[in-house]
Amino acid sequence: MRKPGLRGERALLRIGEYLVGCACRRLPRGTGKDRYREWVAELPAILHDPEIRFAPYRAVRMLGYAADTLRGAARTSGRTRHRPPAPLALLLGVLFAAGLALVAWDIRTAVRAPGHWPNYLYLTWSLFLAAWPLGQYAWSTARMTRLLFFGGLLAGMVVNIWTAVQAPANWVNYLVAACYFSVVLLLLWLMRRFGRRHGLSVRPGSTR
């Protein structure tokens, strides 16, 4: 590969590669890796296009190329949505129902005690919990919702610890925290197991 000659070129290429990666996650397993190789290889060529003298225009063109692969991937694949296998779909359905129930419960709690800020954090977390199973049905949103979901899990842990520290004598806090951690561990184990078996967690560069 040619050495980057302009400042910020590596960062631009990384942005381009990220966009192409997002596009390739929409493609079927067989073609995603191939397309990623092909499209990413074009990025330096566009950035060094001798026919375009104005460097910022080359950068814009490269980013435009990368961004438009998202549209191209959607048109090439003919499917942007992913249907998980039956056992995982069942698990996702249960999670979604649990998420909705939690959302309703947390809204009720937040309305009863509007000044207690952890309630809002709980509500946010339960919204993520409800959103994550839906995100699994669309390749384009799967990664983002996964990040949000795990971010929400960590936030939930922090809130539980904080609540327990605030009232150390209240055994209910410890019970809630223990239940929460157990549920989190169970979820992680189930996702790891099903994710591996059905290949849900995939990166564009991987051999999917």
Residues that bind other proteins (CB under 8 A): 1-2, 35, 37-42, 44-46, 49, 51, 64-66, 68-72, 75-76
Q: What is the distance between the alpha carbons of residues 31 and 46, in angstroms, rounded to a whole number?
A: 23
CA angle, corner 19, sides to 40 and 79, nearest 5? Answer: 100
Closest approach of other proteins to the CB of residue 5, in Å: 15
Closest approach of other proteins to the CB of residue 104, in Å: 41
Q: Between 36 and 125, whose beta carbon lies closer to other proteins?
A: 36
202: tokens are 């995939």
CA angle, corner 31, sides to 20 and 137, nearest 5? Answer: 75
Type of residue numbered 157: M
Q: Between 77 and 119, whose beta carbon lies closer to other proteins?
A: 77
Closest approach of other proteins to the CB of residue 45, in Å: 6
The answer to whether the beta carbons of residues 46 and 164 sit under 8 Å apart is no
Q: Between 24 and 159, whose beta carbon lies closer to other proteins?
A: 24
Closest approach of other proteins to the CB of residue 76, in Å: 5
